[in-house]
Amino acid sequence: MSDETKNGTSRRGFLRQAALTGAGIVAGATTARASEPDPKITEVQEWATAFGDPVDAAPYGTPIRFESHVVRRNVEWLTESPVSSINFTPIHALEGTITPQGCAFERHHSGAIELSKQDYRLMINGLVEKPLVFTFEDLLRFPRTINTAFLECAANGGMEWGGAQLEGCQFTQGMIHNMEYTGVPLRLLLEEAGVKPEGKWIYAEGADASSNGRSIPIEKALDDVMVAFFANGEALRKEHGYPVRLVVPGWEGNMWIKWLRRIGVYDKAVESREETSKYTDLMPDGRARKWTWTMDTKSVITSPSPQAPIRHGKGPLVLTGLAWSGNGKIKRVDVSLDGGVNWQEARISGDIKSKALTRFHLDIDWDGSEMLLQSRAIDETGYVQPTKDALREIRGLNNVYHNNGIQTWWVKADGEVENVEVA
């Protein structure tokens, strides 16, 4: 076939395809019978005749360019400096439960530092028999464990305490990621140093300028806290703490110390800046809760959502979302189409892991009418995700952190979706 013929075919094909597309939008895009053959099928496409990329084109691949919307995003006005700031995971566009590391959210207090394995040191000191220094090579020789866990920023949804503010679950629920970690139980490192009986707290701090020191009770430290160096199969990303971070299953993200450089053992909590000034939750009487470590049961419908409008018209519609609990496994997720008046049980897809993201689906036949979508997670302790109003009734409006209230999406007749509150 000559180039001339091929080009001619392609041009005709493009025009015909454009006409079909226009017709589809007008008709509302329900099940269609083809009025004429689809050139994507009847004409030989470029990729069906020529070569694609060779295997040496991308030694470490990145997503195809058509997925360029699936990236971290930040909201500049939320913080005064981009090195002590937050960005958001594109959860509106993801499925399953594992977060791709390259678009998993970041929260730094003095930027993402570069720390090589050669320069890395971990110190254990304080109320121990023998204070120790480990190199990265030392850490690789300890027995390993694997755990999949969500890391949710304590402030996830915090901007929504006072009302519906940001448009899209990436922004309202996207300070979260979920990875499969491999590392060493912190217990083994502490045993190597020998914790004295009066050692009731550990204080973990990072190698960065902010240090991000946090106190953790010894019971938790000896239970399921991990010193991790692999996430989703490979080394941690720089921005996630390379080469070593703390994994603190079920607990607020601030405690997952990155670029971990020291574990101090003390008889009391340090009451550092990150557990006094920050990560304390102001209550209506002017006092504040401290040490609100656990992230309570929560869920969100990721599609449809403001960044994932319905464009395919009436008929079959997949509702997909995420549920999670810092207190254990998700037991059930209910979905409401009418703003919480009536509920039906959604389907849990895939494995349910403790203190990890869990995927749910509900397949409905959309008749094109408006909906007020909500999801309500229930965990194995029987805790039922509360409404925002139920939380505010107890906590008021200035808690800042720990907003696990039920999210409402207003699906309009044209398929556009808004972040709203209802009453």
- Count of residues of this chain found to bind other proteins when the rule CB under 8 A is applied: 114
Q: Does 132 bind other proteins (CB under 8 A)?
A: yes
Task: Kindly write out the interface string for residues 209-248 of this chain, putting x where it contacts other proteins by CB under 8 A and - elsewhere.
Answer: xxx-x-----------------------------------
Q: Does 75 bind other proteins (CB under 8 A)?
A: yes
Considering only 6, 9, 16, 70, the residue that binds other proteins (CB under 8 A) is: 70
Cβ proximity to other proteins: between 37 and 233 the closer is: 37
Considering only 183, 241, 243, 339, the residue that binds other proteins (CB under 8 A) is: 339
- Please give the full DSSP string across 96-117, using - where no structure is assigned: SSPPPGGGS--EESS------T
Return the residue matching tokens 């979260």: 176
Considering only 13, 16, 71, 364, the residue that binds other proteins (CB under 8 A) is: 71
Considering only 125, 145, 218, 349, the residue that binds other proteins (CB under 8 A) is: 125
Considering only 7, 42, 81, 369, the residue that binds other proteins (CB under 8 A) is: 81
Considering only 85, 101, 272, 349, the residue that binds other proteins (CB under 8 A) is: 272
Return the residue matching tokens 């449809």: 304
CB 163 within 8 A of CB 421: yes
Pick out residues in 176-205 that bind other proteins (CB under 8 A).
188, 191-194, 203, 205
CA-nearest of 348, 304, 303 to 323 is 348
Considering only 98, 99, 126, 335, the residue that binds other proteins (CB under 8 A) is: 126
Considering only 85, 101, 165, 349, the residue that binds other proteins (CB under 8 A) is: 165
Give per-residue burial for 377-401: e unless 16+ CB within 10 Å, then b. Answer: bbbeeebebbbbeebbeebeeebbb
Cβ proximity to other proteins: between 75 and 235 the closer is: 75
Considering only 19, 318, 390, 413, the residue that binds other proteins (CB under 8 A) is: 390
Cα first-last separation, the chain = 66
Cβ proximity to other proteins: between 150 and 410 the closer is: 410
Q: Are strands 260-266 and 121-126 parallel, antiparallel or unpaired?
A: parallel
Beta bridge partners of 88: 73
SS3 54: coil
Give the range of 18-26, 144-152, 346-354, 356-364 binding other proteins by CB under 8 A.
18-26
Listed in sequence order, the residues at least 6 apart from 119 whose beta carbon sits closer than 8 Å to its beta carbon are none
CB 184 within 8 A of CB 170: no
Which contiguous run of DSSP H or E holds residue 219? helix 218-223
Considering only 13, 100, 328, 340, the residue that binds other proteins (CB under 8 A) is: 340
Least Cβ distance, residue 167 to other proteins (angstroms): 4
Which contiguous run of DSSP H or E holds residue 316? strand 315-324
Residue type, 35: S
Q: Does 309 bind other proteins (CB under 8 A)?
A: yes
* Number of Cβ atoms within 10 Å of the Cβ of 67: 12
Q: Does 261 bind other proteins (CB under 8 A)?
A: yes
Give the range of 223-231, 235-243, 259-267, 356-364 binding other proteins by CB under 8 A.
259-267
Listed in sequence order, the residues at least 6 apart from 26 whose beta carbon sits closer than 8 Å to its beta carbon are none
